[in-house]
Amino acid sequence: MKDSTARALAYSTIAILAIGALQLNPPLPPVGLARLGAVEVRPLWSRHADTLGSGETLSALLARQGMIGSTAAELLRAAKSLDARRVRAGMPVVVTKLDADSIPSEVVFELAIDRLLTLQRTDTGWVSREVKLPWTVDTIVVRGTIAATLYGAMDASALDLLPAQARAELAGELADIYEYRVDMSRDLQVGDEFRVLFERASGPQGIVRIKSILAASLTLSGKQTEAIRFETTSATGKFFDQGGKAMRAGFLQAPLQFRRISSVFGARKHPVLRTWRAHKGTDYAAASGTPVRAVGDGTVIFAGRRSGYGNVVEIRHRNGFVTRYAHLRGFAKGVRSGSRLNIENTVGYVGMTGLATGPHLHFEVLVGGVQRNPSVALRGQGNADPIPAKERARFATTLDAMRASLARPDGLVRLATVVE
């Protein structure tokens, strides 16, 4: 994007910021009125929107707005919550001044999307005040039917409820909840259904975010699995199925968090050797450098280069399984033979070393030294402890309430409340 275009977009954003600042801040100190005959002449004010450039100092930005030397130094001393060493490039700033005055009367820094730092000039110096812009939170239910992918179904279902980025965020969070039970890239079939109850946070400048998922239901080939958010100090995980078992298990269903499978377990034509052979694993197509994670706790038994696998890591797990991650571009820091890894720790990064025509991860599961279909071998391994008996009644009450909300029509379930 050209600099002029980027600055124009930034100015549009800051214009909204300026309006918010005017609404939330008290008016500037009154300035006396001049009289011209019988007509009162009011002083003229102007507002200037600016942004902090990459590598630019706050002093340089203030100088651009007519504040240099001791004037800028006094303002920065008054801005105690503004760390000049940690301000982000692109931070919007709005400067207000009287046209007849060379020194601004007010400077507003956008510390974050919902935090403004206002500095006003008085007779005794600069006075700072931090303003927290409010968010509103409401509760929404969305349901959808799979036509191709979870992301596509969420796009179609929540089009009128969420902007594109929030729809993608919701789909990703839903996939994360089910990642110990379902590989969203390959297990979903046309006609499968989902329902999700979540809190939607709406903030300044029209920002919309997913605050949290409260409950979900996923129906795969007619089999329904519910996931209910439930706080407990006695069991592992935040979400539990309808039977009270933690959604978290001993193994992830896939070694990539954002994933797309390019080939599955079974026979295929090898892309380099051009011969048909049994493909003893699953390939995940992903951008080079995508982090690869361990699907379970274990010990690294090999990390190095091995013929057609290229850079490969092998991990032995407590149930005797061995998982293999091949064609890596490189290894994560500290990954070597004998290293201990926990589930979701980074193993390495997607690459195309060895016999590979493009960046992807080749993933295998070996049981007794024999390659097995990963989707079958890992499923149901090492489920976490269920909700204890003493908390079952409270869970049953929560389950009933969440089911009732999930059964409601798409859209608003609970009205928005203001959250500071």
Phi-psi region of 332 (alpha: psi -120 to 50; beta: other; left: phi over 0): beta
Please give the sequence-ordered ranges of beta strands (E in DSSP) within 61-186, or none if there are none.
92-98, 106-112, 115-122, 125-132, 135-145
- Is the same domain home to 388 and 244? yes
Report the amino acid identity of residue 53. Answer: G
| Residues whose CB falls within 8 Å of the CB of residue 6, separated by 6 or more in sequence, listed in order | none
Q: Among 132, 165, 185, where does a domain finish? A: 132
327: nearest Cα among 270, 380, 376: 270
Q: Is 353 helix (H, G, I), strand (E, B) or coil?
A: coil
Angle 127-132-133 from CA coordinates, rounded to 5°: 125
Q: What is the pTM of this model?
A: 0.73
Same structural domain for residues 279 and 337?
yes
Task: Indicate which CATH number applies to the domain containing 147.
Answer: 3.10.450.350
**Among 58, 54, 56, 50, which residue's Cα sits nearest to residue 15?**
50
94 vs 72: CA distance, rounded Å: 15
Phi, psi values for residue 262, rounded to 5°: -100, -25
Instruction: Say if residue 119 is in the same domain as residue 162.
Output: no
Residue 254 in domain: no
The reply to whether 102 and 154 lie within a common domain is no
Residue 345 lies in a domain: yes
402: exposed, middle or buried (C-beta count within 10 Å: 0-12, 13-18, 19+)?
buried
Q: Which CATH number do you get for residue 327?
A: 2.70.70.10
**How many structural domains compose the chain?**
3
| Domain stop point among 97, 132, 167 | 132
> How far is it, in rounded angstroms, from Cα 319 to Cα 403?
36
Whether 299 maps to a domain, the answer reads yes
The three-state secondary structure class of 371 is strand
- Find the DSSP H helices in 85-163: 150-157
Are residues 108 and 143 located together in one domain of the fold? Answer: no
What does the pLDDT profile of the chain (420 residues) look like in tens digits? 444 444 444 444 444 444 444 444 444 544 444 454 555 656 677 888 999 999 899 999 999 888 888 889 999 999 988 887 788 899 999 999 887 787 889 999 999 888 999 999 998 999 999 999 899 999 999 999 999 889 999 999 999 999 999 999 999 999 999 999 888 877 889 999 999 999 999 988 788 999 999 999 999 999 999 999 999 877 777 999 999 999 988 899 899 885 555 556 666 666 666 666 566 788 888 889 999 999 999 999 999 999 899 999 999 998 889 999 999 999 999 999 999 999 999 999 999 999 988 899 999 999 999 999 888 888 777 666 789 899 999 999 999 999 999 999 999 888 767 765
Choosing from 112, 132, 152, the residue where a domain stops is: 132
CA–CA separation, 172 and 155 (whole Å): 12
Q: Does 291 fall in a domain?
A: yes
Residues 38 and 117 in one domain: yes
- Cα 370 from chain centroid (whole Å): 38
**Does residue 100 sit in the same domain as residue 150?**
no
What is the domain range of residue 30? 3-132
CA angle 16-18-19, nearest 5°?
A: 65
> Alpha-carbon distance 41 to 250, whole Å?
76
